[in-house]
Amino acid sequence: MADLKPPSTERPIEDLTYEQARDELVTIVSQLEAGQLPLEDSLRLWERGEALAAHCSTWLDQAEARLTGDAPASAPGAKANADGESDEA
């Protein structure tokens, strides 16, 4: 049987890029679908997955706002430079 233990070290969600959060969410979904974890671990993963999904949604909402011109060019975790512009590419 595969080792499906959740990771022991979890980076703060707000520090993750969209891609990192999405990849971790995919891993969590796979682990939950396998159904091999104890209930407490499953609940913890579910909660982390919900938070990751919300983080990804925020990234996507802000990207859409940038494309439509409805918001300033900043995303979760983006840092502004001296001109107030985002350093994110």
pLDDT tens for the chain, 89 residues: list them.
Answer: 444 444 445 889 999 999 999 999 999 999 999 999 999 999 999 999 999 999 999 999 999 999 998 766 555 655 444 444 555 54
Kindly report the pTM of this predicted structure.
0.68
**What's the pLDDT score for residue 78?**
54
Please state, in angstroms and rounded to a whole number, the distance separating the CA atoms of residues 38 and 22: 24
Closest CA to 30 of 58, 59, 60, 2: 2
Closest CA to 63 of 17, 26, 32: 17
Between CA 82 and CA 14, with CA 89 as vertex, the angle to 5 degrees is 80
12 residue type, one letter: P
CB 42 within 8 A of CB 4: no
